[in-house]
Structure 1
Amino acid sequence: MLETVAIVAVVLAIAIAAVLILAAAKPDSFTVRRSALMQAPAERIFPLVNNFQQWASWSPWENRDPAMKRSFSGPESGKGAAYAWDGNRNVGSGRMEILDASSPSKIVIKLDFIKPFEGHNTAEFAFVPERDSSATNVIWVMQGPSPFMSKVMQVFMNFDAMIGRDFEAGLASLKKLTEK
């Protein structure tokens, strides 16, 4: 019996060591990037991202908790506009603030997640007009540091795929909304 316990303990120690080594090898930061071509001018798309109150019409997270508490502060749109949320485990809680809004080409957002995991990231939307058409390529990027616990989670989860699915859904909704 003691021999079996020792074998299990050694196997468990090796498994834990392997996870920690794999986590240590992960990069110190992450980037998630998705884009979508929209048959609409940037001037039509930009206001829907630049005003957090408009996010309810396209954001992939807005309908995951019908009871989510939302608060807006600062100007209605542009630099200084802020949005805080507190919801169930599907949306967590956090705050976003627009740091830069260069109409109609770029929006930079400071993203602070509080629950379920603390995180401090930056999101950027770029609106790139397509040559010889009224179409716009909308590029959504989120980047931030990967603390060690995040790296451990990344051993088991693909953050790019997980967050990227939400970005793809949000861009598809934004596309549908602006191409009407």
Structure 2
Amino acid sequence: MVINADTRTIKLLVSDFDQWHKWSPWQQVDTSIRFSVNEPSAGVGAHQSWVSKWGYGEMTITSINKDKIAFNLLLDNEHIVQGTLEFAQANQVIMVTCHIEGQATTLLISGYMAMFYKYILSNAVTLGLNNLKTVAQLYEPQATTDSHDSKNSTSPN
């Protein structure tokens, strides 16, 4: 996702679980989900957990550097997932890339579950990155103004 915002703004929104309600897709995907943000809420070691009609899980930020935030997920106490959000600056915009990898451990149906999870996660991550783009660009008034097609407006303002 290409985001017309400062890297610091994007990293603030991603590395602080108290900020996730502003952009996270999960309330849109599953209205039954309830989050608990634990201490610390931001930075390495930040931890959140959730419960919904589909199960429960927890997420921990494991490392942060200038180009990447890494995290681990534990789903239903059996599926371990690792992920990263990577940030690359090019031409005054930030390219944010999300990578998620894990294993399905349920015997016999793991392949089908993996395909289902890939479909759900792919769509949810795309929604989340779109939400992140909107929120981050709103934090940057000049970037938001420049990203609109206001040059074709008939208004003198």
Alignment of 1:89-100 (within 5 A): 89=54, 92-100=55-63
| 1:12 aligned partner | none
Alignment gaps of 5+ in structure 1: 1-35
> What is the Cα deviation at residue 71 of structure 1?
1.9
User: Does the aligned pair in 1 maintain the 2:33–2:50 contact within 8 Å?
Assistant: yes
| 1:109 aligned partner | 71
Which one-letter code corresponds to 1:59 in the other structure?
S
| 2:35 aligned partner | 70
Alignment gaps of 5+ in structure 2: 139-157
> What is the Cα deviation at residue 158 of structure 1?
4.8
Which one-letter code corresponds to 2:124 in the other structure?
D
| Alignment counterpart, residue 135 of structure 1, candidates 80, 84, 93 | 93
TM-score (norm 2): 0.77
| 1:121-145 C-alpha deviation (Å, 9 max, x unpaired) | 0111011111xx2200001111012
| 1:20-75 C-alpha deviation (Å, 9 max, x unpaired) | xxxxxxxxxxxxxxxx0111121110110101111111111034455543222232
User: Does the aligned pair in 2 maintain the 1:83–1:97 contact within 8 Å?
Assistant: yes
- CA 1:93 to 1:77, structure 2 compared with 1: closer, same or farther past 3 Å? same
TM-score (norm 1): 0.68
User: Does the aligned pair in 2 maintain the 1:58–1:177 contact within 8 Å?
Assistant: yes
| 2:17 aligned partner | 52
Higher relative contact order (CA 8 A, sep 6+): 1
| 1:83 aligned partner | 48
Which one-letter code corresponds to 1:45 in the other structure?
I
- CA 1:158 to 1:71, structure 2 compared with 1: closer, same or farther past 3 Å? closer
- How large is the RMSD of aligned CA atoms in angstroms? 2.0
SS in 1 for 2:45: coil
- Number of aligned pairs? 136
Between Structure 1 and Structure 2, whose CA radius of gyration is higher? 1
